[in-house]
Amino acid sequence: MTAGEIAGEVIALLGGGGLGALTGVLLVRDRLRLGHEGVVVHGFIAGSRETGRAQGDQLYAPEVRFTTREGRDVTHLTMDRSHRPWQAGRPVVVRYRPDKPEDVVIGDHVPVAGWFLITCLFVVIGVAGASGLVWTLAGHG
């Protein structure tokens, strides 16, 4: 491998890790903003949609319906997920951003720790991959 190819691989690994980290940081920032600026109101589960699979199990996202403080009716999928369909008609507390009511979560708090851990994971993968590649190509591995 030439020096240029090595540099390209290192840049690709760091770039991938950096892009993942940036995405994670932006998601964490949005979740923190929702937690600090979000408005808590009562709503209900309007329905449930299949969103994908995790470990072979079907995942479902709730569609919530609520009225903003300004009187606007909103129906939107949340980022919450469950292995069972959500019960339509069930009352829930939701938190939404006043400037973007479609950014909504069920509950009066916003979980951030998971997003932070995913961001850290992308950083570690990018740095470890680049370091391992440089170590191996330098003849140490």
Asked if residue 83 belongs to a domain, the reply is yes
pLDDT for 13 equals 63
Range of the domain at 109: 16-137
> Strands 91-97 and 73-77: what pairing?
unpaired
Confidence class for position 1, pLDDT limits 50, 70, 90 = low
Confidence class for position 106, pLDDT limits 50, 70, 90 = confident
Confidence class for position 53, pLDDT limits 50, 70, 90 = confident
Q: Under 8 Å CB-to-CB from 129, ≥6 apart: which residues?
A: 13, 16, 17
The mean per-residue pLDDT over the stretch 79-100 comes to 90
Asked if residue 58 belongs to a domain, the reply is yes
The mean per-residue pLDDT over the stretch 56-69 comes to 93
Q: Cα separations (Å) of 136 from 80, 131, 139, 140?
A: 42, 9, 5, 5
Asked whether residue 73 carries a pLDDT value surpassing 90, the answer given is yes
Asked if residue 9 belongs to a domain, the reply is no
Four-CA torsion 17, 19, 24, 30, nearest 10 degrees:
170
Q: Which residue's structure tokens are 């808590």?
A: 40
Asked if residue 35 belongs to a domain, the reply is yes
Helix (H, G, I), strand (E, B) or coil at 127: helix
What is the CA angle 126-138-7, rounded to 5? 50
Q: Which residue's structure tokens are 């209900």?
A: 44
What one-character DSSP code corresponds to residue 38? Answer: P
Number of folded domains in the chain? 1
Asked if residue 49 belongs to a domain, the reply is yes
Asked if residue 29 belongs to a domain, the reply is yes
- What span, in angstroms and rounded, lies between the C-alpha atoms of 76 and 85? 16
